Amino acid sequence: MKKIVTVIGARPQFIKAAVLSRILQGRFQEILLHTGQHFDSDMSEIFFTELNIPAPKYNLGISGGSHAEMTGAMLVGIEKVLLEEKPDALLLYGDTNSTLAGALAAVKLHIPVIHVEAGNRLGAMSNPEEVNRITADHLSTLLFCASKSALEFLKRENLGERACFVGNVMYDAFLHFSSNSRQALSELRGYDNALIRVPEKYCYMTCHRAENTAEDSTLLEIFRAVDSLDYPTIYPVHPRNRERAQRLHREYGFKRILLLPPVGYLDSITLTKHAACVVTDSGGLQCEAFYAGVQCVTVFEHVVWPETLVDNRNQMCAPRAAEILQKLSAKQVIDPNYQPFGDGHACEKIVDRLERWFG
């Protein structure tokens, strides 16, 4: 059986591994390597237990520091594992520093790289993830695209022959785990374990990108927008942004915004499905709002998922209160036949293709 080392390190990568590892099982020997990029129990452990992801054989415990410090330490750690395991291929997801380090380590050891969620482009090298995705794509042997626009980007960069469209693995995950999450949630755990009652009508918000959270002023604009909706907002806060979010919340008394620690994936998709609207800067969550047919405003300058931007289903927005509110008030139209992220079987398509490729 061919051996694959899979590098994971961040929340969305755990979710992707939860669905792809199941399909790899029995057909490939998969070894999970966790870089440690996300390490808190509510950013890492909960995903492994709740989504039944096999325990990683390796955990490098690398998090924090500058991009260079993190990527450099991961590069060294991943190389050691690859030298020991001698896999037939290395599998990577998305666009994090763990992805970049994995691609660099493997290619120097002549280990073929498989990139899942390849080809997304923002057109802005100022975005650190853009550097990671472009580099990883160009170092990869097999590229699996979540959308047709991603495949087009790869063709333009002369990578079309190594690439194919399979659909979004996150869509597979959404469909697979949705069966566990039909009922709306009645309560959630807040900070200090306090119980928070989930209102019947609410906005579900996540916001963690540096572009929106590095300054008080941008986060304040986003808070002001959702605080003036006529229903409350549920906001699980990324640990990176906790201090600022709690301080602004306290200083300005945003009583209609319910701050809480990160929730698990099952709670996150349940919250999305029952939300009146979603306000986010997350790539994953804007797609989940789309799958669930819930209107979304994405507070970010660059388009990550152009397919979602139809009929007001997802609208890109600057971090300005008036613009966010104006976009939330636009009416969305849903065409049920429009399914740009595949048929929910991206993982099967990936594993079939890998089997053919290995011969």
153 contributes a contact to ligand UDP by CB under 6 A? no
Q: How far is the CB of 308 from ligand UDP (least distance, A)?
A: 13
CB 273, min distance to ligand UDP, A? 11
How far CA 181 is from CA of 26, 267, 342, 346, in Å, comes to 28, 8, 22, 21
DSSP label at residue 307: G
87 versus 308: smaller Cβ distance to ligand UDP: 308
265 contacts ligand UDP (rule: CB under 6 A): yes
Active site residue 110: no
Q: Given the DSSP bridges, would you call strands 277-280 and 203-206 parallel, antiparallel or unpaired?
A: parallel
For 50-54, the CB contacts below 8 A with 24+ separation are 50/264, 50/265, 50/266, 51/14, 51/15, 51/18, 51/177, 51/265, 51/266, 52/18, 53/14, 53/17, 53/18, 53/21, 54/21, 54/30
User: Which among 214, 234, 241 is positioned nearest to 278, based on CA atoms?
Assistant: 234
Can residue 282 be called a binding residue for ligand UDP (CB under 6 A)? yes
Stretch that binds ligand UDP, among 54-62, 113-121, 244-252, 282-290 (CB under 6 A): 282-290
Closer residue to ligand UDP, CB minimum distance, 202 or 265: 265
Token pair for residue 117?
């969620």
Q: Would you count residue 284 as binding ligand UDP (CB under 6 A)?
A: yes
| Site membership for ligand UDP, residue 206 (CB under 6 A) | yes
Residue 243 token pair = 């201090």
Beta strands in the chain (DSSP E): 3-8, 29-34, 58-59, 89-93, 113-118, 142-145, 163-165, 187-189, 195-197, 203-206, 233-236, 257-260, 277-280, 296-299, 314-317
Q: Report in angstroms how near the CB of residue 136 gets to ligand UDP at its nearest.
A: 14
* Distance (Å, whole) CA 135 – CA 76: 18
Please tell me what DSSP assigns to residue 37.
S
Q: Measured from the CB of residue 158, what is the shortest distance to ligand UDP in angstroms?
A: 26
Q: According to the binding rule CB under 6 A, does residue 56 interact with ligand UDP?
A: no
Region from 19-27, 180-188, 243-251, 257-265 binding ligand UDP, contact rule CB under 6 A: 257-265
Of 38, 208, 249, 274, which is the active-site residue? 208
| Pairing mode of beta strands 195-197, 187-189 | antiparallel
Which residues, 6+ apart, have CB-to-CB distance to 109 below 8 Å?
Answer: 79, 82, 83
Residue 283 lies near ligand UDP (rule: CB under 6 A): yes
Question: Nearest Cα to 309, choosing from 287, 282, 278, 292?
Answer: 287
Name the residue nearer to ligand UDP (CB basis): 16 or 111.
16
Output the smallest distance, CB 93 to ligand UDP, in A: 10
CB of 45 to ligand UDP, least distance (A): 13
With contacts defined by CB under 6 A, name the span among 132-140, 150-158, 212-220, 258-266 that binds ligand UDP. Answer: 258-266
Cα 141 to its chain centre, rounded Å, is 23
| Residue of the chain from 212, 268, 295, 308 that contacts ligand UDP (CB under 6 A) | 268
Under the criterion CB under 6 A, does residue 31 sit at the interface with ligand UDP? no
d(CA 240, CA 210) in angstroms, rounded, equals: 9
To ligand UDP, the closest distance from the beta carbon of 94 in angstroms equals: 7
Of the two residues 87 and 283, which places its CB atom closer to ligand UDP in the complex? 283
Answer for the pair 286, 207: CB distance below 8 angstroms, yes or no. no
Report 2-21 residues binding ligand UDP (CB under 6 A): 11-12, 15
CA-angle at 13, arms to 27 and 25, nearest 5°? 15
Written as one letter, the residue type at 73 is A
Residue closer to ligand UDP by CB (options 85, 267) is 267
Task: Indicate which single residue of 56, 119, 236, 319 sits in contact with ligand UDP (rule: CB under 6 A).
Answer: 236
Is 127 a binding residue for ligand UDP by CB under 6 A? The answer is no
Interacting residues toward ligand UDP by CB under 6 A: 11-12, 15, 206, 236, 262-265, 268-269, 282-285, 288
Catalytic residues: 208
